[in-house]
C-alpha cells in the first residue's frame, strides 16, 4: 500500500538508523492516522517483524491499535470522460434553447394603425405611436431588422404579412410580427380574435399566424415565430414575431374587468383617467357573411409559434396617451431581463405587472407552441 521506495529519499538524508526511523514515522503520520499502524501490520505480515519492532522502539508514543481497513473501490474519472459528460449536459441544455446565431437574427414587422376611416366607426388610437416607437427601439437593440407600416387598410396589412412570409428566412433565426390596432372577436379553430385595418375590415389572428406556419413558410420551419398583438377582443399586439417558428399574439376584449378583492395588499395604482381608452369594438352576432376560419387552420398544430394576448379574450386592453399598459410593461421587462431570462418567463412578469394596474383590470396571456426556450440576442 505504501511502497518503501517512496520514503527512501527523505530517509537516506535523515542520518542514523534511529533518525531514519523517526523520519519514517513522521512521514507516515502525514498520510493519515491509520498510515503508521497499517504500515507496521504490513511489515509483520511480510516477514519483516524486526523492522517493525525497531520502529516501535523508536516511536516514543504508544501505538494506536490497528483499526480494520475500510477498503472501498475508488472510481477514477479521467479528464476526457469528465469533459464528455460536461459536453453531454451542455448539449442537452442547448437542445432546449433556440439558437440565435445570425446577426441580425430576423425580421420584425410592426403594423401600427392609428387613424381609422370615418365609415369604420373606430376611434383614433391615441398613444399608439408611443407604443410603436418603444418597440422599434427595443427590437433594433435586440438585433432585429425592423420595418414599420402605419395606417394600413386590411388588404394592405395582408399584403405586408404575405410579403414577409414569402421572403427567404434561411439565413435568419427568428421572426417577429407586432400589430397595434383595434381588435374584435372572430370564429376560430386555433387562435381567437382578430384585428382591424383602418377601413374597418377585420383580419383573423388565425389567418395572420398561418401565413408563417411550416406549410406556408418553409424557410421558417423549426424557427421561432413571435406575434405581439395590442388590441381588444382578439387582436394581435405590436410585437408579432414570425421568423423562427414562434408566434405571440396579444388580444383584448370588450368587457371591462373590475377585478375582485384579495386578502393581500395590492399595488395602489390610480384609477383610469379620462384619457384612458380601450381598443375594444362591439361584438357582432355571427351571421351568414361572417369571416370563416382560414382553410390553413386544418393543418397540423403549428410548432414554434407563440401568440401572446394583451388581455384575456373578451376583455378590454387599456391604452392611454402615453401608450398601452401592455406595451409599456413589455418594453420595461425586455430592457431589464432580456439578457438573463427567456421569453416565456418574461411574459409571466408582464402578466403579473399588468394585472396589478388600475381600478379596471387586465391580464395578458398567450398561446404557446414553442418547443424550446427563447432567449433574445443581447449586446
d(CA 22, CA 26): 6
264 is an active site residue: no
Active-site entry in 182, 184, 217, 366:
182
Residues 6+ apart with CB under 8 A from 247: 177, 209, 212, 225, 226, 227, 240, 241, 302, 304, 305, 306, 307, 367, 369
Q: Characterize the bridge pairing of strands 183-184 and 194-196.
A: antiparallel
Q: Position of cell 381588444?
A: 232
Q: Is 105 noted as a catalytic residue in this protein?
A: no
| DSSP result, 56-108 | HHH--SPPPPPPPP---------HHHHHHHHHHHHHHHHHTB----SSS-EEE
Among 132, 175, 217, 232, the one annotated catalytic? 232
Enumerate the β-bridge partners of residue 374.
Answer: none
Q: What SS3 state is found at 146?
A: strand
Q: Are 236 and 227 in contact (CB under 8 A)?
A: yes
User: Could you give the CA distance from residue 169 to residue 108 in angstroms, rounded to a whole number?
Assistant: 12
Beta bridge partners of 323: 320
Residues annotated as catalytic (active site), given as ranges: 182, 232
Amino acid at each position: 500500500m505504501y511502497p518503501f521506495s517512496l520514503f527512501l529519499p527523505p530517509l537516506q538524508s535523515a542520518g542514523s538508523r534511529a533518525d531514519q526511523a523517526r523520519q519514517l514515522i513522521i512521514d507516515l503520520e502525514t498520510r493519515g492516522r491509520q498510515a503508521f499502524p497499517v504500515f507496521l501490520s504490513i511489515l509483520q505480515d511480510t516477514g519483516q517483524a524486526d523492522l517493525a519492532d525497531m520502529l516501535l522502539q523508536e516511536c516514543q508514543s504508544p501505538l494506536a491499535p490497528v483499526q480494520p481497513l475500510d477498503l472501498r473501490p475508488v472510481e477514477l474519472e479521467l479528464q476526457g470522460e469528465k469533459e464528455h459528460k460536461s459536453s453531454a449536459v451542455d448539449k442537452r441544455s442547448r437542445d432546449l434553447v433556440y439558437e440565435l446565431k445570425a446577426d441580425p437574427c430576423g425580421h420584425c414587422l410592426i403594423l401600427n394603425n392609428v387613424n381609422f376611416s370615418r365609415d369604420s366607426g373606430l376611434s383614433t388610437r391615441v398613444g399608439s405611436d408611443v407604443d410603436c416607437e418603444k418597440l422599434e427601439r427595443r427590437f433594433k437593440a435586440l438585433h432585429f431588422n425592423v420595418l414599420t407600416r402605419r395606417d394600413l387598410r386590411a388588404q394592405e396589412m395582408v399584403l405586408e404579412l404575405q410579403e414577409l412570409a414569402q421572403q427567404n428566412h434561411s439565413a435568419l433565426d427568428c421572426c417577429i410580427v407586432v400589430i397595434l390596432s383595434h381588435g374584435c372577436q372572430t370564429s376560430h379553430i386555433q387562435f381567437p380574435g382578430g384585428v382591424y385595418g383602418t377601413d374597418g375590415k377585420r383580419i383573423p389572428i388565425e389567418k395572420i399566424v398561418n401565413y408563417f406556419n411550416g406549410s406556408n413558410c418553409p424557410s421558417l420551419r423549426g424557427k421561432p415565430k413571435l406575434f405581439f398583438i395590442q388590441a381588444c377582443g382578439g387582436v394581435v399586439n405590436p410585437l408579432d414575431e414570425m421568423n423562427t417558428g414562434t408566434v405571440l399574439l396579444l388580444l383584448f376584449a370588450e368587457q371591462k374587468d373590475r377585478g375582485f378583492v384579495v386578502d393581500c395588499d395590492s399595488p395602489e395604482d390610480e384609477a383610469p383617467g379620462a384619457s384612458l381608452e380601450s381598443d375594444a369594438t362591439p361584438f357582432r352576432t355571427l351571421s351568414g357573411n361572417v369571416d370563416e376560419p382560414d382553410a390553413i387552420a386544418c393543418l397540423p398544430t403549428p410548432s414554434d409559434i407563440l401568440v401572446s394576448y394583451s388581455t384575456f379574450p373578451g376583455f378590454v386592453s387599456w391604452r392611454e396617451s402615453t401608450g398601452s399598459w401592455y406595451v409599456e410593461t413589455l418594453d420595461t421587462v425586455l430592457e431589464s431581463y432580456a439578457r438573463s431570462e427567456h421569453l416565456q418567463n418574461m411574459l409571466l412578469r408582464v402578466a403579473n405587472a399588468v394585472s396589478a394596474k388600475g381600478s379596471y383590470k387586465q391580464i395578458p396571456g398567450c398561446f404557446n407552441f414553442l418547443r424550446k426556450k427563447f432567449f433574445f440576442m443581447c449586446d
